[in-house]
Amino acid sequence: QVQIVESGGGLVQSGGSLRLSCTASGNIYHVYSMEWWRQGPEAERDFVASITSGGSTNYADSVKGRFTISGDNAKNTVYLQMNNLQPDDTAVYYCVGRLGVRPGTSNHYWGQGTRVTVSS
């Protein structure tokens, strides 16, 4: 069984920073990539950032230059450093692991989410 657990959300003022963490654990054979998604109030779930096991990163245009994704392969952990947060960044942030539990497999596993609230 695979578990994805996020932490680090909270309340911050506009212009402030937060760092989210996400750890994948359990019966994991290989981590292909890990991603952050978010869902704001009355909004769809949107892609935020991703990182592959090789370190390649990708960002949504709305967060480029403000958010940085990084990872620790040894710990199956990914971080999302969020700077210059704005009220529009208010959302529940979800971590997604694209993992294989045995050779030749790959599935997406979602965490429960961590809430980020940015006050103006």
Residues 47-89 pLDDT 10s:
999 999 999 999 999 999 999 999 999 999 999 999 999 999 9
CA gyration radius, the chain: 14
For residue 101 the two structure tokens come to 């539990």
Indicate if the alpha-carbon torsion angle 89, 61, 46, 17 is positive or negative.
Answer: negative
Phi then psi for 76, rounded to 5 degrees? 50, 45
Q: What percent of the chain has pLDDT over 70?
A: 100
Phi then psi for 88, rounded to 5 degrees? -65, -10
pLDDT at position 42: 86
Per-residue pLDDT of 1-46, as tens digits, reads 999 999 999 999 999 999 999 999 999 999 999 999 999 998 899 9
* Whole-number Å distance between alpha carbons of 15 and 43: 22
Per-residue pLDDT of 16-28, as tens digits, reads 999 999 999 999 9
